Structure formats: C-alpha cells, structure tokens
Amino acid sequence: MKRIIYFLLLCLSIAFHPAIAQNSIFLSGGKIEFEKKVNLHSQIDDDDAWGDFERKNTPKFKTTYFDLYFSGNKTIYQPGRENPDNLKTMEWASIADQNVVYAELDSSRCVAQKKVFEQLFLIRDSTRKIQWKITDETRTIAGFQCRRANALIMDTIYVVAFYTDEIITPGGPESFSGLPGMILGVSLPHKHITWFATQVSAQPPANSVFKIPAKGKKASYATLKDEMKDVMKDWGAKFRQRNLEAMML
C-alpha cells in the first residue's frame, strides 16, 4: 500500500510541475517561443557619413519574437508576440521581421513567405543542407540540456547552434535544421544575431496551425538572390551584402 501511495504522489508531483514532466519525455509536438536579437549598431557602417546620426537615433538592440510549432517532422515558424520598442527602429532594420517558414523535414521540403522591402515573396525550395560539426560543449536553454554544433552557411557565415535530443523533431528557427534534435539556440557571432528559445510548451498543436504559406511572388532562394542583387546593384557594397544575408537566412 505504501508503494502505491508513493507512486501516486510521484505522478501528481510530475503532473503539477511542467518542467519536470517536459524534460522526462521525448517531445514530438509542441510550441517554442524564440527571441531574436540583433545588434543594430554593429550593422551601421563606420565610414558611413550618416553613421553617427543612425547610432544616435537607433536602439542598440532589436528584439523580436517568433513561434515555432512542431509535430513529428513538420514545423512552421512565424511571427509571435509584438515588441513595442521596435517602433523606434528604422526601416532598414525590418527585413525578416515577418518571415513565415513551413518545413516538412522528412521530405526536405520548405515553403517560406518573406517580405523584402515592399515585395512579398513565396519561396518553394528544399530545406537548407548544413554540414554541422557536433562538439562536446553543452548548455541549458529553456530547461533543456543542449549540445553545441558549428557550421558555415552561405560560404562565409559562421553559425553556432545548440540542439536538444529531448525534442525529437530535427528542426529549428528560420531555415536552421538538420541536427539530431530540435535547435533551441542559434548565434551568428560575426553578424551579431541570435535566436534563443525562451519557453517550450508540450501542448500538441492543432493541425490547422500548419497552414502552408500561399501568398507572394513565386521564387526559389536562388532566383530571390538574383532578383535582389539586381535591385540593389547601385547600393553600397556593405549595405547590399547585409540586406542579402538578412533575406536569405
């Protein structure tokens, strides 16, 4: 009888402590909130005549929130709660704020909706193939034990990611995926951009959440890059490169 009572008390303890319950199982469905932070001052050219003016009139950091819903090998990443402080940032800092990325990871299928300046694009392509190198370094993010992996994307952008195998869906924020578990943290240290999970819900999302984006000018990542290169051909090299990287992530 004592063993039965102890077992019941243990079950109740787990049920009323979500963090314990969440980390004692392997999740295959739920919702993750990501906080994206960009150091805007680092993206202002030092040799730009407007540099000092922009720094004085632009907050140092911009923080935006995104929600990632996952179920099995299916994910959708989309804008989350608003941050009123972002009303103070300039227009050039708004690229990627409205990104929606739907992915079917088992078939390497990706559909992304991106607003680039005033144009809405619908990108149908394969998921990004990233050659990750997993390390022994670990870190706890949103209550989950994560392992570090490093990679290089777009030939020159160094990426640090932290993933957990306690969430078995091999996805992540934006177009980052391909590790043996969910990516809960991403840093582009030389670009001064990070995405980190702030909270994880184990509540399975409704099927209606996974609505495939359908609006926008049809493109692939390659055609989007070519079109934007042409649009920005007369812009400064640093400004053009910064915008290309932001829209291709």
Whether the model clears a pTM of 0.75, i.e. scores above it, the answer is yes
Radius of gyration of the chain (CA): 20
**At residue 72, does pLDDT exceed 80?**
yes
Q: State in words which class domain 26-248 has.
A: mainly beta
Q: Is 181 helix (H, G, I), strand (E, B) or coil?
A: coil
Residue 59 or 99, more confident: 99
How crowded is residue 132: how many other Cβ atoms within 10 Å of its Cβ? 19
Name which of 8, 247, 249 is nearest 117 in CA terms. 247
Q: End-to-end distance of the chain based on CA atoms, in angstroms?
A: 58
Q: Over the stretch 2-33, which tens digit does the pLDDT of each residue have?
A: 444 433 333 443 343 344 344 456 899 999 99
Give CA–CA dist 11/20, Å, rounded: 11
Q: Are 174 and 101 in contact (CB under 8 A)?
A: yes
Distance CA 67, CA 76 (A): 8
DSSP, collapsed to helix, strand or coil, labels residue 34 as: strand
Asked whether residue 186 carries a pLDDT value surpassing 50, the answer given is yes
Residue-wise pLDDT tens digits, 101-152: 999 999 999 999 999 888 899 999 999 999 999 999 999 999 999 999 999 9
